[in-house]
Amino acid sequence: MAKVLAIGNLVLDTVLITDHFPQEDEELRAESRLRQPGGNAANSLYVLTQLGHHTSLVTTLAADQEARLLTQVLQQRGIDLSHIQRKLKGATPSSYILLNQQSGTRTIVHYRDLPEVDFDHFAKIEIEAYDWLHFEGRNVPELKGMLNIARTFCPELPISIDLEKPRDGIEALLDKVNVLFTGKHYAQAKGHEDAAACIEALRTCAPQALMICTWGDAGAWWQMPGGDIVHTPAQNVRVKDTLGAGDTFLAGVIHKLLQQATPAEAVHYGNELAARKCRQQGLDNLLAPLADDQPLAKSSDISAAKATIAQVPGRDTTVILIRDKDTDTIKAYINNCPHQQVPLNEAYKVDVNPFAKTLKCSVHDAWFKVEDGECVEGPCQGDHLQPFPIRIDEAGNIYAAIDD
Ligand code: FRU
């Protein structure tokens, strides 16, 4: 476990989940709305906290209601806020984000008038107490002093920077960093055709750095000083929400580098974690398995004479799997008896009558039809077991077919 200090803007993200991206001048109703902390460094720290690190955010904080909400959530997330700089003027920075469910892409409109952390504030922090220092690549005049002081007083402290967008004069500061994260947005704005060209162009500015340039779902290109440029492809997953995927990638890389992994291992893990993030909404519980991560069972193991009880990965749910003899298909029901809301195997195993094609709750002997889960005998006659959606792949593995 390491101590990571990150410097960046804390943002209130208002996320509107929509079923398509609107046309200009269209009126669109969102399906739901989330309000949550955002900002690249704050997002990365939340992921690093989940990975077991002590994290601390250096940011400015407005005096408004939104700032109070954000500090509360960040504290719940386990991020230390003892180095925040309070500002009387300006409001909490806000992002209004459309999350298009069709594609999983996020479109961000950002507004801020809050001043950013200044050098004098940063200079008072005991950075010697940290194992890693991470900066958002912004606020160039102040950043220059911060990098200088960090490099001078803590020459061994690893420093990373996130160069998301071009900022005047920022390239001149890159000789101080050990790890440089950049990406498509910066590269394209600078007129580079691809990630490799961007790395090559930046190399003279950052001679010491592991340079990493991400390119959306194409993955990441990276290079050690004096080494070749290497491509590590992204994992191909069903995308639900890309908001914060880049910040998650960065956290994954820092985590592995803190563990002395090689750059190749670190980038690979960053990709893996970013892909995992894209499969779910938000950044909570990123390390927990998702419901369709592992198979529930093999279809060849499911018989008509015996009920199989399987645990849904990452969920507090078990399901009953049984073969329907008539159609030779597999039926799946949530393991919950409608009579008293208890698992059917609470008292004993789930008995099956293969002739009547029924299965029995062990608690009060309610019998359910395998075919459609209807209770045909017992205390909840006429009620049904709740079907559970499954999918079976070509290899015969049965998976939960639910959205996390
Ligand atoms: C995602 C994000 C959002 C924030 C925006 C700021 O990477 O950090 O949480 O609103 O970018 O640019």
* Substitution candidate for ligand 1 out of 12, 13, 35, 116 with most atoms within 8 A of CB: 13
Give the C-alpha separation, 401 to 404, whole Å.
10
Q: What's the chain's Rg over C-alpha atoms?
A: 26
Q: Whose CA is nearest to atom 11 of ligand 1?
A: 39
Q: Whose CA is nearest to atom 2 of ligand 1?
A: 39
Q: Which residues contact 323 (CB under 8 A, 6 or more apart)?
A: 302, 303, 304, 329, 330, 331, 370
Q: Which atom of ligand 1 is nearest to the CA of 9?
A: 6
Secondary structure (3-state) at 175: helix
Q: Which atom of ligand 1 is nearest to the CA of 38?
A: 9
Bridge partner residues of 273 (DSSP): none
Domains parsed from the chain with CATH numbers: 3-288 (3.40.1190.20), 292-400 (2.102.10.10)
- CA–CA–CA angle 96, 98, 99 (5° rounding): 130
> b or e along 136-147 (b: 16 or more beta carbons within 10 Å of the residue's beta carbon)?
bbbbeebbbebb
* Substitution candidate for ligand 1 out of 43, 105, 165 with most atoms within 8 A of CB: 43
Q: Which atom of ligand 1 is nearest to the CA of 11?
A: 10
Tokens for 362?
């062990």
Q: Which atom of ligand 1 is nearest to the CA of 247?
A: 7
Bridge partner residues of 375 (DSSP): 368
What pLDDT is attached to residue 104?
Answer: 82
Q: Read off the DSSP letter of residue 301.
A: G
What pLDDT is attached to residue 8?
Answer: 98
Say how many C-beta atoms besides its own lie within 10 A of residue 152's C-beta.
Answer: 9
Give the C-alpha separation, 379 to 341, whole Å.
12
What pLDDT is attached to residue 291?
Answer: 84
Give the C-alpha separation, 350 to 343, whole Å.
10
Q: Which atom of ligand 1 is nearest to the CA of 13?
A: 10
Q: Whose CA is nearest to atom 12 of ligand 1?
A: 39
Q: Kindly give the confidence (pLDDT) of every residue in the chain, 404 residues in length, as a single tens digit, with 9 standing for 90 and above.
A: 999 999 999 999 999 999 999 999 999 999 999 999 999 999 999 999 999 999 999 999 999 999 999 999 999 999 999 999 999 999 999 999 999 988 888 999 999 999 999 999 999 999 999 999 999 999 999 999 999 999 999 999 999 999 999 999 999 999 999 999 999 999 999 999 999 999 999 999 999 999 999 999 999 999 999 999 999 999 988 888 999 999 999 999 999 999 999 999 999 999 999 999 999 999 999 999 888 888 999 999 999 999 999 999 888 899 999 999 999 999 999 999 999 999 999 999 999 999 999 999 999 999 999 999 999 999 999 999 999 999 999 999 999 988 65
With beta carbons less than 8 A apart as the criterion, state whether 40 and 162 touch.
Answer: yes
Q: Which residues contact 41 (CB under 8 A, 6 or more apart)?
A: 6, 7, 8, 9, 57, 59, 134, 135, 136, 162, 247
Amino acid letter for position 152: T
Give the C-alpha separation, 248 to 254, whole Å.
10
Q: Which atom of ligand 1 is nearest to the CA of 106?
A: 1
* Substitution candidate for ligand 1 out of 10, 35, 40, 136 with most atoms within 8 A of CB: 40
Q: Whose CA is nearest to atom 5 of ligand 1?
A: 39
Q: Residue 97: which of 184, 30, 27, 172 has the closest Cα?
A: 30
With beta carbons less than 8 A apart as the criterion, state whether 201 and 190 touch.
Answer: yes
Q: How far is the CA of 40 from the centre of ligand 1 (A)?
A: 5
Q: Residue 237: which of 291, 292, 278, 293 has the closest Cα?
A: 278
With beta carbons less than 8 A apart as the criterion, state whether 122 and 70 touch.
Answer: no
Q: Whose CA is nearest to atom 9 of ligand 1?
A: 38
Ligand 1 binding pocket, CB closer than 6 Å? 11, 13, 38-40, 43, 95, 108, 110, 243-244, 246-247
- pTM (2 d.p.): 0.86
Strand extents, DSSP E, 93-224: 94-100, 106-111, 132-136, 159-163, 179-183, 210-214, 220-223
What pLDDT is attached to residue 403?
Answer: 66
